[in-house]
Chains A and B, each alone.
Chain A
Amino acid sequence: MGVAQRSRRWLVPVTAVAVVAGVGALGPVVADASPKLPGISAQDLLAKVQTAKVDGLSGTVRSDADLGLPAIPGAPAGSEQLTEMLSGQHTARVAFASPDKARVSVLDNQAERVWTTDGKSAWAYDSSRREAVKLTVPEHKTAKPEKAVPSYDPQAVAKQFLDAIDPTTKVEVSGTEKVAGRDAYKLRLVPKTDKTTVGSVTLAIDSKTWVPLDVTVMPRTGNDPAVEVGFSSVSFDVPSANTFTFTPPQGVKVTDKKVPSQVGPKRVAPKQIEPKQLKPGTAKADEPTVIGEGWESVAMIRGAQTGRLTGNGPLAQLLAKAPTVSGTWGKGKVLTSKMVSALITDDGRVFVGLVTPDTLQAAAAKAPR
């Protein structure tokens, strides 16, 4: 009897394991239950989104990207940061106040990168290097620095996708979900063509302010999102003005830059590029040409430093393994990943798109030399 009674005590730690694992694994699922909302048509929802206007918001944005991206050859120096942003998990605090105040701070491990503008000046601060860059914004271009970082703002990302909606895309309201504690409609965009690697794009749209709170891009194959950017917490109170000001602290190196036009296009500015172009990584290269329309669009970058590819670096090794293809357009190597395909021709052109390799070759045939 004694032994049985004593061995029963081990039920306590076993139960503890079950409870801890259960709470940890199921807790988030229960919290994500779909809320009950009145029905709405996709068209009404889209209209609401386009008229959505908030005076200010603040919150925490998480992004999780898994594009399977290798480094893009020929990309100009300084693009490492952007490539880094497009892969892995990131958390950022964002704040916005209309019309032209914005702040984004990316929370890195024991460091922080801050971009902020109060409409008159813009600051970029990197805590690990303790360096700050100041941009003086000309009066008539006050909105520019705010655009310097929109690839991290779910609103901008969503708008970019919304602009691409045309007859090539099936649009539907696919249910409801809770995002950052708010009730939201899910708007699902499904490409009608099978030439793209994008399976679907789902926006979660707040049912009160009609602001997109979350963007999820699913690849055509696989069950894990390729990109998910969304609020994990959000408040629609207007943040106080001092949120957006930046006083360079002592001991921080400050650089003054007075040419905002050089900074603007470095990041994705939705209004400056063809709205059809969905591949943000290509936007910062020198004058990319867009071939094709909608989901099938392919960006062409000239003058890739193919010399770099003959070396022994990781990229050269990657290319050495890549299959060689040829056609009327010439000869080149094809790199494919879950989402992005790239064709690097021998004459130094790079074709990139969220499309299948065959579509890339077709685009290459049509491309100007």
Chain B
Amino acid sequence: MSPNEATAEPAPLADAQRPGAGRHTLALFLSELRLVFARTRTQVGLGVLAAVPLLIGIAIKIAGSDSGAEGFIGQIAGNGLFLIVASLGLSLPFFLPTAVTVISGESLAGEASLGTLRNLLTAPAGRSRLLAAKMVALAVFCLAATMTIWISGLIVGFILFPVGDVLLLSGSTVSLGEGLLRALGIAVVISLSLLGLAGIGLFVSSLTSTPLAAMAATFGTFIVLGILTAIPQLHAIHPWLLVYRWQSFADLLRDPPYWHEIGRNLLLQGGYLVVFYAAAWARITSRDIT
């Protein structure tokens, strides 16, 4: 038996000797989170996302309320709450995927490029658990990214614009509190919508030790999926494409919310996540330490 395999599958004896494996797992997850959120690029990324509502808000404020824009953007001047929804919607096609791509591409390849992956892979934490910690950190980042926009939109929207009861797409009105709750739901749904992409990024990141290559490949995949979604002749495969139902988050603003499309979207994201997480697992557990 080679030393590699001994670390990939720790002997039962080694497991028994370790006091409180659960505590180790928790420590691993926490250190992983610390690692992700302490990175400058993570903080810069979140900073850019926080600036999105600010930029939109200032632009709308300058343009005035009679800009006549349709959709959520046109509603911002009348109700600052829609700044949250519009910012989330506008960040979804580009800013959020970019952020997720950068962080997920970094996750394993970054460690490999620094040589720290070697230490991690030989550590008693186990490779499967390491991968799980990476994925959880990515999921937390997705949520942090959308919540950053939500909070920033809330603050900017409430400062720059009047707020009040929220007009839903169906033409009925709900209280501000329920509107905020629905906007929170949108943030959560969008962060879950990003998990499929995060899974792809994690897998690509496990293939290479160059973070930049992993980011480029993940973002390239995302662009290709987006282009395929835009070609009407390919409608037969559209329901299988990652970004096809991303816009369904707005169904939360109907009265009552329409869950069908959101459910389908989340199932699809789950499918992508399972497949690519399994692939990343197969890759990382069968990988030689270099």
Contact = CB atoms under 8 A, between A and B. Distances in A.
Nearest to A132: B171
A128 B171 CA distance: 11
A6 interface: yes
A105 interface: yes
B271 A24 contact: yes
Contacts of B240: 24
A110 B89 contact: yes
Contacts of B165: 250
B279 interface: yes
Nearest to B1: A2
A231 interface: no
Contacts of B173: 247, 249-250
A129 B282 contact: no
Given A60-B260, A110-B71, A249-B172, A12 B167 contact: no
B111 interface: no
A112 B275 CA distance: 35
Contacts of A127: 169-171
Contacts of B171: 112, 114, 123, 125, 127, 132, 246, 249, 252
A9 B281 contact: yes
A217 B276 CA distance: 40
Interface stretch (A13-21, A164-172, A271-279, A361-369): A13-21
B256 to A, nearest CB: 9
A12 B278 contact: yes
Given A2-B2, A125-B171, A9 B282 contact: yes
Contacts of A12: 278, 281-282
A110 B74 CA distance: 13
B286 A7 contact: yes
A274 to B, nearest CB: 35
Nearest to B165: A250
A9 B268 CA distance: 24
A105 B170 contact: yes
B285 A13 contact: no
Interface stretch (B37-45, B149-157, B247-255): B247-255
A127 B170 CA distance: 7
Given A6-B286, A128-B70, A20 B170 contact: no
Given A20-B271, A107-B251, A107-B254, A130 B281 contact: no
A112 B170 contact: yes
A111 interface: yes
A6 B285 contact: yes
A130 B169 contact: no
A16 B70 contact: no
B115 interface: no
Contacts of A250: 78, 164-165, 167, 173
Interface in B234-290: 239-240, 247, 250-251, 254, 258, 260, 268, 271, 274-276, 278-279, 281-282, 285-286
A336 B251 CA distance: 38
B25 interface: no
Given A12-B281, A24-B240, A130-B74, A111 B169 contact: yes
Interface residues of A, number: 36
A10 B286 contact: yes
A222 interface: no
Nearest to A11: B282
Interface residues of B, number: 39
Contacts of A323: none
Contacts of B72: 110
A251 interface: yes
A9 B286 contact: yes
Contact of B275 (A20, A125, A246): A20
A13 B247 contact: no
Interface string A1-39: 010001101101101110010001000000000000000
A363 B71 CA distance: 47
B187 to A, nearest CB: 16
B5 interface: yes
Nearest to A25: B240
Contact of B167 (A7, A232, A249): A249
A359 B165 CA distance: 58
A110 B262 CA distance: 13
B254 A16 contact: no
Contacts of B91: none
A109 interface: yes
A107 B278 contact: no
Contact of A129 (B2, B70, B79, B285): B70
A60 B167 CA distance: 22
A135 to B, nearest CB: 15
B170 A252 contact: no
B75 interface: yes
Contacts of A114: 170-171
A27 to B, nearest CB: 10
Given A2-B2, A17-B275, A249-B171, A130 B285 contact: no
Nearest to B68: A129
A194 B111 CA distance: 70
A249 B79 CA distance: 13
Given A251-B78, A252-B171, 11 more contacts: A2-B1, A2-B2, A7-B286, A16-B278, A17-B275, A24-B240, A127-B171, A132-B171, A232-B260, A247-B172, A252-B167
Q: For the complex of A and B, list the 8 residue pairs with the smallest distance between their C-beta atoms, beginning with the closest.
A: A6-B286, A13-B279, A13-B278, A110-B250, A20-B271, A112-B169, A9-B282, A125-B171
Interface of A: 2, 6-7, 9-10, 12-13, 15-17, 20, 24, 60, 91, 93, 105, 107, 109-112, 114, 123, 125, 127-130, 132, 232, 246-247, 249-252
5 contacts: A9-B286, A110-B89, A111-B169, A250-B78, A251-B79
